[in-house]
Structure 1
Amino acid sequence: MDKGRIGVVGAGTMGQGIAQVLLAGGREVMLYDVAEAALERAEAAITKGLDKLVDKGRLDTETREAALARLNTVTQLSLLSECRAIIEAAPEREELKTALFRDLAELGDDIVLASNTSSLSLTRLAAVCRRPERVVGMHFFNPVPVLKLVEVIRAEQTADDTVAAVEALARELGKTPVAIADSPGFAVNRLLVPMINEAAFLVQENVAAVDDIDQAMQLGAAHPMGPLALADLIGLDVCLEIMEVLHDGFGDPKYRPCPLLRRMVDAGHLGRKSGRGFHCYS
């Protein structure tokens, strides 16, 4: 992909991280969100993230300043028509993403439209676009500046040159792209989130305490953090949404969301972002 401007749709945690790695990689970024306050929070978070790289000696002050100067925040979706590619990082709701892709498709026929969806069908998203062959999945992992993997998901309609373009962009950003077919949950979340869901069942059934489950998986399976701590990092609402996609997509009862997980989401106990999940973060 040429060195053109990249748009990022959504200024939440994932959008912030994607924008940061694009800026650090030398790209000009247009970060879009409907809420000005969200953009202000994102700009502060990106600045903090780049400052950490300076503190660690991975970025010099001059490069940091140049990166921040390449960040543009906008609340008008139409301004993204100037971008070479757009990465959508909106909340994981199919109706929202479908509406966004329908609008993004009107911005220009040559723009690559990539979705950071963690589980939804790229084929269905592409189907609402005028140029479905330009639609692809580009699934980053949280925290984006740290984790190297990008799942590149090919919809049924995606063209080879579109896949090649986002794989090249991922490598340009220091990431490792892995090709994945369009299937519910893709690869990592299809393996990972059911494990988290099963850990929630262990808690619900009083098989073991939260801390003991996490410690057991760290010591017994060499996981860097336990599944319930990881669920808190991901967000319990996101875990529940992925389990629902898997359950609906495959129709298999093994993907039934744990009732405890659902109750916690209903109570607003979403993990780190709310201050409380399986663990407390006050």
Structure 2
Amino acid sequence: RGFYTYEAPGSAVVVPDTLTPAKSGDAVAGRPVRAVGVAGSGTMASGIAEVFAKAGYEVVLAARSAEKAQTAKARIGKSLSRSVDKGRMTAEAAARTLELITPTGTYDDFADVDLAVEAVAEDLEVKRQLFAALDKVCKPGAVLATTTSSLPVVACARATSRPQDVIGMHFFNPAPAMKLVEVVRTVLTADDVHATVHEVCATVRKHAVDCGDRAGFIVNALLFPYLNNAVKMVQEHYATLDDIDAAMKLGGGYPMGPFELLDVVGLDVSLAIEKVLHREFRDPGLAPAPLLEHLVAAGCLGRKTGRGFREHARR
């Protein structure tokens, strides 16, 4: 045995026992979810709205203006068209999915949603203000979820009068393709809220993993120190970014190299996460690489701006 107990020496078959980590067997029923509100107009908000609509949920997509919300819905339409072109869904299914999404310029239209998902800028004060607004407009019993990738979920919860209804629901980019959702419960999160999110994740065909409310959760707490060290290697002329990407794909088995991934995630988002990790853990080694800060200051944010560590063709 190691972290798990195995059927026999050399076997990959895990045998459950009292020493093997396992989920609690206590079953709690979740709350019914028919309609979902998604707050935001960026790439993540659009992707998350697409995920829920594909699963048959009625989706209210709210942004700071009706124009931004319409633009986000148009982005979803293009994504669905690409799926049709690739044979992943029929044109009829794409049309039905798009019809389930209602764009709006006001959060007041979240009055009847059962689950409100916040997907705005990775800024704690912005998120706290939004949660205070959701607290006022959402009906009693609605689940309020944040998609933060690194900020404390409990800080969002404390901005409301119902912290028991608040939970973290961290999707990964691009949301329609990535299968993982980190479910982050705080010390105040109600058991049925936690159960609701797990049920919803199963419905939208995502794999949910539970984790504690600390900076970076699971994935980013492990991923971003690695990405930051890769940037430092280039900065110190230890290796080229092409060679580092090739090494990690061919030698480490990663599907993308660190610089490919940084450009997809967004250098601004990556820098924000690294700053949060550095601030929380106070480890000098987690300080963001100056090269990353310089590129962000120059407006080179990755694929979304056409240039990050590499130049990208405009789509």
The alignment's TM-score, normalised by the length of structure 1, stands at: 0.97
Please say which of residues 154-163 and 46-55 is displaced more in the overlay. 46-55
Aligned counterpart for 1:11 among listed residues 37, 41, 46: 41
CA distance in structure 2 between the partners assigned to 1:40 and 1:210 by the alignment? 38
Matches within 5 A, 1:1-282: 1-107=31-137, 108-282=139-313
Please say which of residues 1-10 and 185-194 is displaced more in the overlay. 1-10
Q: CA deviation at 1:111?
A: 1.1
Q: CA deviation at 1:71?
A: 0.9
Deviations 1:12-44 (A, max 9, x none): 000000000111100110000013332232112
Contact 1:109 1:130 in 2 (8 A): no
Please say which of residues 225-234 and 47-56 is displaced more in the overlay. 47-56
Instruction: Provide the secondary structure at the position in 1 that maps to 2:37.
Output: strand
CA distance in structure 1 between the partners assigned to 2:155 and 2:245 by the alignment? 36
CA distance in structure 2 between the partners assigned to 1:204 and 1:159 by the alignment? 46
Gaps of 5+ in 2: 1-30
State the match for 2:16 in structure 1: none
Contact 1:31 1:74 in 2 (8 A): yes
Deviations 1:51-82 (A, max 9, x none): 22223333222222221111100111111111
CA distance in structure 2 between the partners assigned to 1:278 and 1:75 by the alignment? 35
CA distance in structure 2 between the partners assigned to 1:151 and 1:15 by the alignment? 16
Give, as a single letter, the amino acid of the residue that structure 2 aligns with 1:261: L
State the match for 2:22 in structure 1: none
CA distance in structure 1 between the partners assigned to 2:214 and 2:81 by the alignment? 38
Q: CA deviation at 1:109?
A: 2.5
The CA RMSD over aligned residues, in Å, is: 1.1
CA distance in structure 1 between the partners assigned to 2:169 and 2:246 by the alignment? 32
Q: CA deviation at 1:3?
A: 4.2
Give 1 or 2 for the bigger CA radius of gyration: 2
Q: CA deviation at 1:127?
A: 1.1
The alignment's TM-score, normalised by the length of structure 2, stands at: 0.87
Instruction: Provide the secondary structure at the position in 1 that maps to 2:168.
Output: strand
More helix by share: 1
Gaps of 5+ in 1: none
CA distance in structure 2 between the partners assigned to 1:272 and 1:226 by the alignment? 15
